[in-house]
Structure 1
Amino acid sequence: MYQVQRVSRSEFVPIRHLDYHVRLWGEPVPGQAPLVLVHGWMDVAASYQFVVDALSHDRHVIAPDWRGYGLTAGSPTDNYWFPDYLADLDFLLDHYAGSQPVDLVGHSMGGNVVMFYAGVRPERIRRLVNLEGFGMPATRPAQAPGRYARWIDELKSLHRGEMALKAYDGPDGVARRLMKTNPRLKQDQADWLAGHWARPNAGGQWEILGDAAHKIVNAQLFRVDEVLELYRRISAPTLVVEASDNSLDQWWQGKYSLAEFHERLAAVPDLRRALIEDAGHMLHHDQPQALARLLEGFLDAA
């Protein structure tokens, strides 16, 4: 089993009618910005443990489980809306940071959240890091009727039980699933993550701590013009980190490319990019030491 170096503690914070689970490492340091880490789709806050352990010095780290993930219960609805993540984050920063700007890091879906949030609340961010948060392919207005129809059809599929997440006989099965998704994940890491990524149900089956409703397509189209306006309002120095293994080609089959994402990044006023070698999309699992050094170099720079 993976040996944790820095032990976290859990808190539950009332946020917008939900008991939000937040994982914390370290204590607040006067004059030092809190480090806020937000996870991606079908992930949990504990996923950052390997990077926190790899930091060369203690930081006050705040990592929430997004609504419907980990130990944060899902909202009383049958689907999720991206703006809710922005509002949830704002309420969480009110609670933990007040008016103090934070260092904000997001992975994958969380990387998209932090980029949008930094355009909405630029004054709240001291430094911004996007880990493999690429956004989505551009859409056209003509796609709207089909998108709404697909959204309704998927809601019906969810209610018929056709979108349920697979359960596993035990944590070993969960660990195998994690390693199948990410072949670079080490056995000890997978064994440790399994206990945070899933829990046994009343029947003894291990269920993923993620609401199946997250699988439903967003009813609204992804508007690149809106994204670029948000990017232009980011005032914090911004670091975009990519893995050496490009996942976009596999995900989008030519509908969206890394080159298109880089074109969008030209709208960010103060941008730098970095590459983590020998890593895939879950680069915080694949190369936690390299990522920790990169983060510290950026966050601690004058």
Structure 2
Amino acid sequence: MNTTAPYRPQREAQVLQRPVRGHWQYALRCWGDPSTATPERPLLLLGHGFMDVGASFQFLVDALQAQGDGERPIVAPDWRGFGLTQGPACDHYLFADYLGDLDALVDALSPDLPIDLLGHSMGGNIVMSYAGARPTRIRRLINLEGFGLPEAKPEAAPTHLAKWLDDLKAPKALKPYASAEAVAQRLQHTNPRLPDDRAQWLATQWASPADDGQWHLQADAAHRRISAMPYRLDEVLAAWRRISAPTLWVEGDETPFEQWWGARYPRADFDARLAQVPQLERRTLTGAGHMLHHDQPEALARLLREFL
């Protein structure tokens, strides 16, 4: 048994519920009051990645505070179908709905001021598309390894739709775990860089105990279904080219991009996509993989403070 004490947050968050688009109660992890935002220090909104939760940013928020940026209001929502956000039963999720939810949140939390917007992985893809659709609502934009997906070929659309229809008929489930420690071990299996104390704390945010005595991930199993909508690269890049905010791209030097995608999505193709963002700054964190806000939160915080 691991006897390491769980990580202790330094800047405590308050979790609030806010109605979004009439059907969802979004859970917002708030560090500070969004109403205290100013043009010089606007709200910083953090969008988590796939199969993650807003609490994932706690280490980064603590690092920002330790470096003297503890007064900034920060909000990290749990996207629909993740964490503590509640809504109607779904058998699949659409990418565009995350943009609709984000737009509603930005209007509610910062109706008069542009915000600083950060997204990790899936969240990085969300914020890039949103910043292209609503360029005047974003002051600074940060993408943490939101690489996008391989381009979908139009001729493959019928086959893709048939696969999605078949997938709708297949039951989906997420593996339960015997204990919070087992969840922590699962997190460290995925990311061996994650220290014991952070893994122990994250496990209690990423999963929760149920009546069956097992720990269950705070995510809807329907996320395991493929998307009905193919990844249309031309449309994505059209949005990226409309981004008017200065944009910071950050990646880890140990992220296995080629291992993930192989020939389906060469790294050179991604670099060509990113080059189309108008005001782009690129940085790489040493000793970090895909979960760079877990691996190197202090170094990431320094980059963000310089950029913001």
| 1:29 shift after superposition | 3.8
Counterpart of 2:153 in structure 1 is 140
SS of 1:194's partner is helix
Distance in 2 (alpha carbons) for counterparts of 1:258 and 1:3:
38
| 1:156 shift after superposition | 0.9
1:21 equivalent among 9, 24, 27: 27
Counterpart of 2:96 in structure 1 is 83
Which residues in structure 2 correspond to 1:203-282 (within 5 Å)? 203-282=212-291
Distance in 1 (alpha carbons) for counterparts of 2:86 and 2:256:
30
Which residues in structure 2 correspond to 1:1-302 (within 5 Å)? 1-16=6-21, 17-27=23-33, 28-31=36-39, 32-55=41-64, 56=67, 57-58=69-70, 59-158=72-171, 163-299=172-308
Structure 2 contact 94–229 (Cα < 8 Å) conserved? no
Question: What is the aligned length?
Answer: 295
Q: Which amino acid aligns with 2:29?
A: R
| 1:74 shift after superposition | 4.5
Moved more, 115-124 or 140-149: 140-149
| 1:99 shift after superposition | 2.4
* Gaps in structure 1 of 5+ consecutive residues: none
TM-score, normalised to structure 2, is: 0.94
Distance in 2 (alpha carbons) for counterparts of 1:140 and 1:113:
21
Distance in 1 (alpha carbons) for counterparts of 2:306 and 2:186:
34
Structure 1 contact 244–280 (Cα < 8 Å) conserved? yes
Residue by residue over 1:51-99, the C-alpha shift from the partner in whole angstroms, topping out at 9 and shown as x without a partner, is 0000122110011000010001254320000000000000001111002
Q: Which amino acid aligns with 1:108?
A: S
Q: Which amino acid aligns with 1:139?
A: A
Structure 1 contact 118–124 (Cα < 8 Å) conserved? yes
Distance in 1 (alpha carbons) for counterparts of 2:238 and 2:183:
40
The alignment-based identity, stated in percent, is: 54
Structure 1 contact 74–211 (Cα < 8 Å) conserved? no
Distance in 1 (alpha carbons) for counterparts of 2:215 and 2:26:
22
Structure 1 contact 99–124 (Cα < 8 Å) conserved? no
| 1:101 shift after superposition | 0.2
TM-score, normalised to structure 1, is: 0.96
Distance in 2 (alpha carbons) for counterparts of 1:275 and 1:141:
34
* Gaps in structure 2 of 5+ consecutive residues: 1-5
| 1:241 shift after superposition | 0.5
